[in-house]
Each structure stands twice: as structure tokens, then as C-alpha cells.
A = this chain, B = another copy of it.
């Protein structure tokens, strides 16, 4: 696998070391930013047209389209930064429909005074993660706001992918008896952000799981097991995603607590900080509802993929307790896993 360094893009010296309001003016300094940073890093035939919109050929069929704005604080954290997060987050939202993600837009909001070097690092991560995910950045926009009017940098990505004809994933497809498969350990991303904020990153060894999941999903689809729904448990964590499954399908979900993988360092940090890992964000994990008879088939395929080695069946869909998620622990005690009301960890993505 190529490393970030091998994709490093050249950076001609810019006139300013920090982002100026005029970098967002649409004038000469905007052009300098585009020519010196964005085009060398992202350049492709479509983007290079420098039109106000990308145009490209599309096949007849069904398309997936998703958007997300990333406001994570801090912008650099253990395992990634706001740039790869912005690519992976939208690639994953597109891919959860069964679509093959193809095209991304990027919209930057930059705070006046942001060091160009930090912008360069973010852009390089965007380039690298887009390359890894097999998507092209085909259109973009940059706005600059006065110092104090935003927090360093916000990034919106919108993504487009094409859905193979036979695929129809969605919460409406979930059936009683379906197995719930989780692709790996939970809460890594949220706890990486939180420990960084608290200055504990080095000691903790906790790293964000930020990753593009389209490769893992392709592997799952190749297994030919019947997948009913896929979703990535980001904000609000596994608890929120499973409550969406239950609430929108009208069915119940029963979890086995001891089957849910949590890395030791994350479990320890959650205990110390009094945080339930079920509610903490992930950025490189997925939850699948898979037909009972194909669950082992899909699970086996997932475990052979680098992003699915810890995949596990963590529960099943049931007609009991409609719209509720219930978790049973190792002692047979049950508790309801509700939607979160408040905000446990703001700005984790």
C-alpha cells in the first residue's frame, strides 16, 4: 500500500504564509491558491477545466448522493486530520447504499490567519485518502472568513456514486431474524479526539479509525450474502445507528454486549472518563443487517479484509420490543439502549 509520503504533492512558495481574506475573493490570490495547492494535489481532467461545475458522463441507472460538513476540533489528531475524515466520511455515506463512490466535491471555509502549511497538510491528506478510496475530486469552492468567524477550517464534501442494478440496501429492507454485523472495534475515533483535546494522546495510544469502507463493502457484496442495510455509526455511535435501524424499521434489536469489540485502551479511557463507548463516534466502521442464513458467509468475507478483521455478529433483529434496542450483558441482564438526547462529545467530525 502506498504511503502518504509517496503521494506528497509539490508546494510552490506562496506569497503569504497564512490564509488571507483575498484567498477567498475569486481574484488573483484565489487563483494562486488553486494553482499552487489544489490543482497539483487534486488535479484531474475534470477539475482541470476550472469551470464552475464539473461535467462528466454517467451510466443509466441509480445514483447515490451524500453531503457532510466536517467541523472537527482539533483539526489534527492521532490517526488522521480533518482532510482524510472529510473524504472518508462522505465516501462511506455514499458506499453504504451499495454504490461505488466516484466523484467528490470539496468546499473549504478557512479562517483568516490559518497557516498555509496546515492547509497543505490537510490538502495532502485529502489527496491521499481520495486516491486510496478511488474517488476523484472534481469540483470545489474556497471561502475565507475573518479571524474569529470560524474555527480554523471547516470542510464540506459531497459525493456521488453509482449503484449496481441488483442492489437495494436500506432500512426498509431489514427483516426480523436479520443478524447485526459490526465491522470492528468501536469508539476509536471519538476517543482519539477526546484524548487529544485533553492532552492525553501520547499516553493513551488511541488512534482514530478513519478509513474509507468502500473496499470492505465491495468484499461483502462479492460474498453474495443478502445484505439488507448498511450504515456507518459515526455521530452518536453504534447506539444511535441501531436506534435508527429500530425506529425507522419498526422492529426491535437485541445485542449481546460481550460480542462488541472494544480495544483495551479505548475501554480504559471510556471508564476513566465515564463515557459509554456505544455512544462514541466511529469513522471507519460499519453496521450491516444481513439475512440470517447468509450472516456467516458475509462475516467470513469481512474478516479477510484488512478493515474487517475484528468483524463480529453483535445481535439480531426481532419482532419483540418494536423500535427499541435492548442489550444483554454476560450475566443475562438486559438494558434498553436509547437514543442520546444531549451532546456527549461535540465536534468529533
Residues of A whose CB lies within 8 Å of any CB of B are: 20-22, 24-31, 49-71, 73, 93-94, 96-97, 99, 103, 105-109, 138-141, 143-146, 148-151, 154, 156, 158, 160, 163, 170-172, 231-232, 234-236, 240, 244, 248, 339-344, 346-347
- Is the CB–CB distance between B96 and A52 below 8 Å? yes
- Is the CB–CB distance between B53 and A234 below 8 Å? no
Distance between Cα atoms of A236 and B22 in the complex (Å): 10
Known contacts A340-B28, A342-B25; A57/B68 CB under 8 A: no
Copies in the complex: 2
Distance between Cα atoms of A326 and B97 in the complex (Å): 51
Interfacial chain B residues near A139, Cβ < 8 Å: 65-67
The 10 closest A-B pairs by CB, nearest first: A26-B235, A158-B158, A67-B105, A27-B340, A26-B236, A53-B66, A60-B60, A156-B156, A22-B343, A69-B107
Overall SS of chain A's interface: mixed
- Is the CB–CB distance between B53 and A93 below 8 Å? yes
- Is the CB–CB distance between A25 and B235 below 8 Å? yes
Distance between Cα atoms of A94 and B138 in the complex (Å): 13
Q: Nearest residue in B to A144 (C-beta to C-beta)? A: B346
- Is the CB–CB distance between B52 and A231 below 8 Å? yes
Interfacial chain B residues near A143, Cβ < 8 Å: 69-71, 154, 347
- Is the CB–CB distance between B67 and A97 below 8 Å? no
Distance between Cα atoms of A252 and B109 in the complex (Å): 33
- Is the CB–CB distance between A56 and B63 below 8 Å? yes
- Is the CB–CB distance between A343 and B107 below 8 Å? no
